[in-house]
Chain A
């Protein structure tokens, strides 16, 4: 039973355009969501997070949107740059319950120059 789903295994975007990575979750107890970025042969690095009391969080070129009723979140990268090419993992937890992060399978983003 996959609680966090990233249904697109890969995404290709032209440099300068917007990248939109999607994530769906099934556990209504999740109240904290994170995105991690992973380059080959490296560990994931934290990118941006959002708690369930918000519907949007922005950090530079990265914005995360949360739609609680749809149990859906998305990561927008604009403008996309070649250095953004990586695997992006969505993760969720019940923060107040101190539960471990549950990760999606990841989406491989390729930004084409």
Chain B
């Protein structure tokens, strides 16, 4: 069975500090991977997606970057956090193909102060 693990569960960070969030998928080879951001009570905004190692496509950057260093790992980062980065970050995976059901991780709740 496929499992998706996000880390950390929650973060409280200062404005201007760096950030790194991670996501690991086990039990599925070469999944499509996605980062979504959700402001409190808000909609799901897609940030990045990756269909293969080393390749990441940006949808909305929000002064963030993403990388896929391994087939099962997806990293979201920034060198300088803004207040507007606060929210709920969700990693998701899907199979290749048009059916494209997304399976979300438990998420990371980020508070920038």
Pair from one complex:
no
